[in-house]
Amino acid sequence: MAELSGAQIVAKSLKTQGVAEVFGIVGLPVGPVAKALIDEDIRFVGTRHEQAAGYAAQAASYLRGRISAALVVSGPGMMNAVTTLGNAAANCWPMLLIGGSSNLRLLGRGDFQAAPQMDAARLFVKWAEQAQDPRQIPFLVSSAVRQAISGRPGPVYLDLPGDVIEATVDEADVKWEARVPDPTRIEVSDAAVAAAIEALRSAANPLVIIGKGAAWARAEGEIREFIERTQLPFLATPMGKGVAPDEHPLNAAAARTFALKNTDLIFLIGARLNWILHFGLPPRFREGLRVIQLEIEAEEIGANVPTEVPLVGDAKAVMAQLNAYLDERPWQFDDASEWGASIRAETERKHDENVPRFASDESPMNYYRPLKEIEEALPRDAIVISEGENTMAIARQVIMSSHPRARLDAGTWGTMGVGPGFALAAQLVHPDRRVVALEGDSAFGFDATDVETAVRHRLPITWIVFNNNGIGRGTATLDPGRPVPPNALSPGSHYERIIESFGGKGYYCASPDALKAALADAFKQEVPTLIHVELDPKAERRQQEFVWWKR
Ligand code: ADP
Ligand code: MG
């Protein structure tokens, strides 16, 4: 029988597991793996930094509802990808990182790029193993996939020493594994379903909160139906946006602060009470907040605030159970209640406050008007990526999501530099949808070179860089006689020239009209585009009653 190399066995195993693309950077010892992937018709997307590969792999996993992978070289290559494992763990997203490593036969002798890769990975992963013989690879790949996508999803790491990648074995000695089935969708007891509905009925100010766990679970159909039937007001977390459409009249997003402060009972669906939801604690929430928690991970129940009704199961399956219960015993939240009316009033007040910001013709621009122009130009099913402090926070308010899993951002870890990798993944997974990455100038700088990857792979992403010459608030000029402020970036930069140098199309916009024209032109291009939006360096978010990261 034919001989197969470790590299070929890896590629065939990934193929069986349904991996459609692998992102990474080749070099010793993983070059043969990338070549074997292409031989198996798995797309290999070479990035310019390992962070883009890791972020792309996790975003593709989340968007596909299965698993995607990153392939990196030994030592520094793998270490550059460790942050991406941390980000996937924080977001509860699956991904497979495959790291080439130094040769087993030279263990301890100071081999090229030797590093404690297993230890580094273990800080963040659900599972990590090293293959020591090519024949172990099919089993290890299937174990990795099963671990990553089951229960609470998360990253996994497979370590491949150079001599295992190169070694060949007789195909007859390889025991192939079957495709890992998609995880069982776990349901809850009838008693738990009844308790959840009873709790909702007993609340005066109930609020549904939809997180990215619900998006991962593909629970959008069931959640939309539940909202329609119960007429309960809802809020989404940043990446839970679009599971129920932002435009829905029951969306309390514009009245977020008011709704969180005044609700007496929240129904959390695939969302954690961490900093993003102000820990569920005062002063953002009432003392004695009641909680119904739909969550796949039992250990998460009761985190920070006691849970009155735990629903430990899969968001899609359990929401279907709740809807079935409502078939038998229909119930609707009183639409004429004081609670509903007060949320609507607050929403209108916020809307009126924003009208002048959206209409502002000022140049240099603030964030609101350009984001409104973008919102108006975007197709409804566009996938929007955003990062950078103000850019991301204000985009969250201004740009609506009608579709689930159409928002990706700095996430639970607040990681900057995710944008280029996320955009590559989104355009690859959804070739027919418009992908737009909104980037603060500082955030974009972390991985700007990866716009070249989009040019090379013909992925017509539009990057929009909001330039305020700095991290947070920028500076109009740099005084040569004084120390450079730590948050300053060079005034007068032209980010659009970065993409032009690689063969994409760039636009420099200093006014709302120029931006409108640039958007119209960019959305007609087949090449990737980058729109530089020149902001007033003093531009800021409107005064917030509470700051995100403080209690
Ligand atoms: P967000 O940032 O949107 O609030 P988090 O990442 O904090 O979301 O929380 C998502 C939660 O969803 C996690 O606690 C995770 O365990 C949970 N989760 C993941 N998959 C499922 C699923 N299939 N059903 C229910 N909950 C899930
Ligand atoms: Mg900036």
Cα 56 to Cα 44, 62, 217, 539: the distances in Å are 12, 10, 20, 31
**Tokens at 251, concatenated:** 């969306």
Classify residue 530 as left (phi > 0), alpha (psi -120 to 50) or beta: beta
- Shortest-distance ligand to the CA of residue 474: 2
User: Ligand 1: which of 66, 187, 294, 297 to mutate, most ligand atoms within 8 Å of CB?
Assistant: 297
What is the pLDDT at residue 547? 54
Q: What is the DSSP string of 373-397?
A: HHHHHS-TT-EEEEESHHHHHHHHH
Residue nearest to atom 5 of ligand 1 (CA): 271
**Residues 53-72 pLDDT 10s:** 999 999 999 999 999 999 99
Q: Is the peptide bond before 486 cis (omega within 30 degrees of 0)?
A: no
SS3 content of the chain, % helix, strand, coil (to 5): 40, 15, 40
What is the pLDDT at residue 158? 99
**Residues 298-348 pLDDT 10s:** 999 999 999 999 999 999 999 999 999 999 999 999 877 899 999 999 999
Neighbours of 308 (CB within 10 A): 16
What is the pLDDT at residue 336? 79
Question: How wide is the angle at C-alpha 371 spanned by C-alphas 500 and 465, nearest 5°?
Answer: 25
What is the pLDDT at residue 549? 47
What is the pLDDT at residue 545? 57
Share of the chain above pLDDT 70, in %: 98
pLDDT above 50 (res 95): yes
Ligand 1 binding pocket includes 182 (Cβ within 6 Å) = no
User: Quick one: three-class SS letters along 61-95?
Assistant: HHHHCCCCEEEECCCHHHHHHHHHHHHHHHHCCCE
Which candidate, 388, 452, 401, places its Cα nearest to that of 424? 452
Residue 469 binned pLDDT confidence (cut-offs 50, 70, 90)? very high
**386 near 435, Cβ under 8 Å?**
no
Ligand 1 binding pocket includes 212 (Cβ within 6 Å) = yes
Residue 543 binned pLDDT confidence (cut-offs 50, 70, 90)? low
Exposure class string for 135-173: b at 16+ Cβ within 10 A, else e: bbbbebbbbbbbbbbbebbbbbbbbbbbbbbebebeeee
Q: Which amino acid is at 392?
A: M
Ligand 1 binding pocket includes 217 (Cβ within 6 Å) = yes
Residue 541 binned pLDDT confidence (cut-offs 50, 70, 90)? confident
Q: For residue 185, which atom of ligand 1 is closest to its CA?
A: 23
User: Ligand 1: which of 93, 149, 152 to mutate, most ligand atoms within 8 Å of CB?
Assistant: 152
Query: Measured between alpha carbons, how far is 141 from 309 in angstroms, rounded to an integer?
Result: 37
**Average pLDDT of the residues of the chain:** 96
**Tokens at 244, concatenated:** 């129920």
What is the pLDDT at residue 551? 44
**Residues 387-409 pLDDT 10s:** 999 999 999 999 999 999 999 99
Q: What is the DSSP string of 320-338?
A: HHHHHHHHHS-----TTSH
User: Quick one: three-class SS letters along 230-256?
Assistant: HCCCEEECCCCCCCCCCCCCCECHHHH
Query: Measured between alpha carbons, how far is 332 from 525 in angstroms, rounded to an integer?
Result: 48
462: three-class secondary structure by DSSP:
strand
Cα 236 to Cα 83, 187, 246, 260, 515: the distances in Å are 26, 23, 8, 12, 29
186-200, 218-232, 278-292, 468-482: which range is least confident on average? 468-482
**Residues 339-362 pLDDT 10s:** 999 999 999 999 999 999 999 998
Judged on CB neighbours under 10 Å (0-12, 13-18, 19+), 198 is exposed
Query: Measured between alpha carbons, how far is 67 from 155 in angstroms, rounded to an integer?
Result: 10
Ligand 1 binding pocket includes 304 (Cβ within 6 Å) = no
Query: Measured between alpha carbons, how far is 507 from 24 in angstroms, rounded to an integer?
Result: 29
Neighbours of 116 (CB within 10 A): 12
Residue 139 binned pLDDT confidence (cut-offs 50, 70, 90)? very high
Which candidate, 441, 447, 417, places its Cα nearest to that of 534? 441
pTM for this predicted structure = 0.97
